[in-house]
Structure formats: C-alpha cells, structure tokens
Structure 1
Amino acid sequence: MLSKLLGKNLGLKISTLLVFMFIHIPIGFIIIYAFSTDEKTFQFPIPGFTTKWFGVAWDRKDIWDAIILSVQVASISTLLAIFLGTLASLAVYRSQFFGKEIISFLVILPIALPGIVTGISLRSALNLLGIPFSTWTIVIAHATFCIVTVYNNVLARLRRSSHSLVEASMDLGASPWQTFRFVVLPNVATALLAGGMLSFALSFDEVIVTTFTAGQQSTVPIWMLTEFVRPRQRPVTNVVAVFVILVTTLPILAAYFLTREDDRSK
C-alpha cells in the first residue's frame, strides 16, 4: 500500500515537473537568444555571447514609441477597469434584481470569448459609429476584458467579507460614501490592487484585440509581431520580449502575494 502511494506521488511529481519544463524552457530560450551574436537565425547553442542588442534596442525610437503607447494604454485601461469593475461588483453583490445573473455573465463574457471574436466585433462597432482608430479605441477595447479581472477579484472579496460591518456603519449614522471609504474600501483594497495589477499585465501584452482596434499604431506586442518576421537583428526582438516578460510577470507575482497574504490573514 505504501509503495503504491509513493509510486503515485513520484509519478505526479515527475508529471508536474515535465509540464513546468514544457511551459518555461521556451521562455528560457527567448532570454538566451537575446544574447546571441547571430543576427538572422535562432541557433542553439548560440554561436556567441553579446550584450550589444540591449544597447541597440535602447537606441531604437520605434521601440520606445511602442513601449510608451503600451504603458499609456495599460495604465488608462487599468484605471477604467478599477472604477467600472468595482462599481459592477458592488452592484451585483448588494442589489437583488431581475436578470442579476445575466448581468454578471455579460460582464465576464469578454474575457471568455476568443480574442479574435472580441476584436472583430469591436472593429465593426467602431466602424459603424464612425470612430477613428486611436489610442482611445485601444483603451476601450482593453478595458472590456480588464474589467473582468477587477470584477472577479472584488466580488470574491465582498462575498468573503462580513456584511454586518456595513450594517453597523450605517446604524451608527455613517453616510453611504463614508461607509464605502472607511469600511468597504479597506476590506477590498488588496483585491482591488491585485485586480489592477493583473489588468495592467493583460493589457500590456494583448495582441489580438489590439490588432483590430489600433489602426496604424503599434504597441509592444504588435511591434514584436511585425519585427519577428524580419531576417535581421532578431535578437533585438528577444530583448524586447525579455522586457515584456518582466513587465507582465512582476505585477502577476505581486498580485499573487497580495491575495495569498490576505487569505492567510483571514
């Protein structure tokens, strides 16, 4: 019995290790290729080691333009997501009305749909309304799915919080705004921050929806997709990919530790 249990656990550990290797080893290759001396192809092992591509990427104006645009879009989309996602979660949590579950489903739907479906539908709507493609069309597109991360995080936290605190605040004469500011907001603060960080990461590396709503503008993922097909200076693309990995990984890690520490304190 014990030998069978140990055997199963060993098999589970090996399977888990293989899955993690399958997911993360290709990311390691991207980092390695950023230091390759070969400009045109991907060879392993790399023919030589150099850091010159980091300097080349630093001096490229098109890269900086793409980074600035991506940061702007991700920041504004995140702020919109925090505002609208929080309002939506409060409305669904506190109110009882006909079609409540349908409203909740419609809020979550954009992140469940394939990106190409969302992109085509948004492009069709923008064309129908005669709205020219700009930074704001990308922001609107990204906000549609960024709202979901904030909504889910805040709603889950509200459902785990005691409503008696809100009732006590109202009984003591606090206004709805005071109750929200001093009772509700502190309870959902970490969930709100975690949802905002996840929203920023999702927006920063989104490519499919952006393709349909950006027009002639180029965010970092669009720039990478365009540059990747070029036969020269491919390591520069990998340098930018390393930057994207850092920008998207750090907020996700921060969100993970925030929610984990908050759960431990309960």
Structure 2
Amino acid sequence: MRSDRTKASTALKIAAGAGLLFLQLPILLIFVYAFTTEDKSFQWPPPGLTTKWLAVTWERRDVWQALGLSLQVACIATVLALLLGTLCAAALSQAKFFGKEAITLLVILPIALPGIVTGIALRSAFGLFEIPFSFWTIVLGHATFCIVVVYNNAVARFRRLSSSLVEASYDLGADGFTTFRHVILPNIATALLAGGMLAFALSFDEVIVTTFTAGQQQTLPIWMLEELIRPHERPVTNVVAMAVVLVTFLPILAAYYMTRNGDETAGVGK
C-alpha cells in the first residue's frame, strides 16, 4: 500500500509540474524574447541574446506616455473602488432589508459579465449623455470592475467583524466616525489593502473595457497590442510585457500573502 501511495504521489507531482509548465512557459518565452537579437520575428531557439532592447525601450517616449497613463488610471480607479466598494460592503453586510440579494447581484454584475459587454454598455452610455472620451471615461470604465474586487474583500471581512465591538464603542460614547476609525478600520484594513492591490493590478492590464472607453488615448496594454502588428523592434514589446508582468505580479503576490490565512478574499477572480 505504501508503494501505491508513493506511485500516486509521484504521478501527482509530475502532473502538477506539467500543469505549471503549461501555464508558465508562455510567460518565460516573453522574458527570453525580450533579449533576442532578432528584431522582426520570433525564432526558437533565439539566434542570440542581447540587452540592447532594454536601452531602446528606455528611450521610447511613447512607452513612457502609455505607462504614465496606465499608472494614473489604475491609481485613481483604485481610490474610487476603495471608497465606493467599502461603502457598499458596509451597507450590505450590516443591514437587512427587502431586495438585498438583488442589490448584491447588481454590485457584482460588472465583474461577472464579459468585458466586451461592459465596454459596449459604457460606450453607449457615454454616447447617450454626449460625454467625450477622455482620461476620465477610462477611469470610470475601470472603476466598474475594480469596485467589485474591493467589495468582495471588504464584505467578507465585515461579515467576520463582531457587532458587539461596534456596540461597545457606541456605549462608551464614541460617535460614528470615531468608531469607524478606531474599531472598524483596523479590523478591515488588510482586506482593503489586498482589495486595492488586486484592483490596481486588474486596472493596469485591462484591455477590452479600455478599448471602448479610451478614444484616441493609449494605455500600456493598448500600446502593446498595436505594437505587435508592426514588424520592427518587436522585442521592445516583450520588454514592456516583461515589465507589466512584474508590475502586476507584485501587488497580487502581496495581496495573496496578506489574505492567505483567512477568508478575506472572496470571489476575486475576473
């Protein structure tokens, strides 16, 4: 029986390794092609390796403009998501009223719908109200699904927060703001931070919704899509993709370590 367990364990390890290789190999190829000497096509194995594309990318003003726009949009969308998502979570987790489940469904609907549906809906709404496409239309588009990420994290933590702590604070003479600052916020802070990091990562690499709300502006993912169809300096796109992987990986990793020991992160997938 012990031999059977060993065989099963070995088979599971091999299967797990094959699954990880299948998932991560394309990402590893991005890192390799970022240093290839070939500038117009991707060959395997690469004809040679060089670091010159790092310098070329550093000198590209369009890369920095797209990166700056993506960072600004992600930061503001994350702030909006933290404010609105936390307020929604506080209201829906503490109150009981008719239609609560229907409202909850409406709150999480943007992240459940395909991105193209959300993009078309936002574009139609902006056209109906004659709102020109701008930086703020991108922010509003990203905030629709970032709110859900923060809400899912916050509502899970609110449900674990004992109501007796809040009641004790009021009994001791604290007002609503003081209670929130000294009782509620310390208990939900890590959930909000994790939700904010995930929201930032989702906003930073969003493509579909941005396509419908950006107009002529280019965020970094949109820039990358347009650069792929150009035959010259393709490794530059891979250098930028490598940077995007690092930028989005770090907050997601941090959010994972902050919430791995509890139930704070609920339904964070997109």
The interval holding the TM-score normalised by the smaller chain is over 0.9
How far the C-alpha of 1:161 sits from its partner, in A, is 2.2
Q: Identical aligned pairs, as a percentage?
A: 64
Partner of residue 233, structure 1: 233
Partner of residue 60, structure 1: 60
How far the C-alpha of 1:261 sits from its partner, in A, is 5.6
Partner SS state of residue 260, structure 2: helix
Instruction: Tell me which stretches of 4 or more aligned residues in structure 1 moved more than 6 Å.
Output: none
1:42-57, aligned counterparts within 5 Å? 42-57=42-57
Q: Say whether 1:10 aligns with 2:13.
A: no
Partner of residue 103, structure 1: 103
Q: Which moved more, 1:122-131 or 1:13-22?
A: 13-22
Distance 1:163 1:17 in 2: 45
Distance 1:14 1:117 in 2: 39
Partner of residue 141, structure 1: 141
Partner of residue 24, structure 2: 24
How far the C-alpha of 1:4 sits from its partner, in A, is 3.2
Distance 2:161 2:257 in 1: 19
Distance 2:246 2:37 in 1: 23
Q: Contact between 1:190 and 1:262, CA under 8 Å: does it hold in 2?
A: no
Structure 1: stretches of 5+ with no match in the other structure:
none
Note the alpha carbon deviations across 1:162-210, whole angstroms, 9 max, x for none. Answer: 2211111111111111111100000000000000000000000000110
Note the alpha carbon deviations across 1:59-82, whole angstroms, 9 max, x for none. Answer: 111111100000000000000000
Partner of residue 258, structure 1: 258
Partner SS state of residue 44, structure 2: coil
Amino acid at match of 1:203: S
How far the C-alpha of 1:155 sits from its partner, in A, is 0.7
Q: Contact between 1:82 and 1:192, CA under 8 Å: does it hold in 2?
A: yes
Partner of residue 153, structure 1: 153
Amino acid at match of 1:142: H
Aligned residues: 264
TM-score (norm 2): 0.95
How far the C-alpha of 1:246 sits from its partner, in A, is 0.7
Partner of residue 84, structure 2: 84
Structure 2: stretches of 5+ with no match in the other structure:
264-270
Amino acid at match of 2:5: L
Partner SS state of residue 36, structure 1: coil
Amino acid at match of 2:227: E
How far the C-alpha of 1:262 sits from its partner, in A, is 6.4
TM-score (norm 1): 0.96
Distance 2:240 2:150 in 1: 28
Q: Which moved more, 1:151-160 or 1:130-139?
A: 151-160
Distance 2:172 2:18 in 1: 57
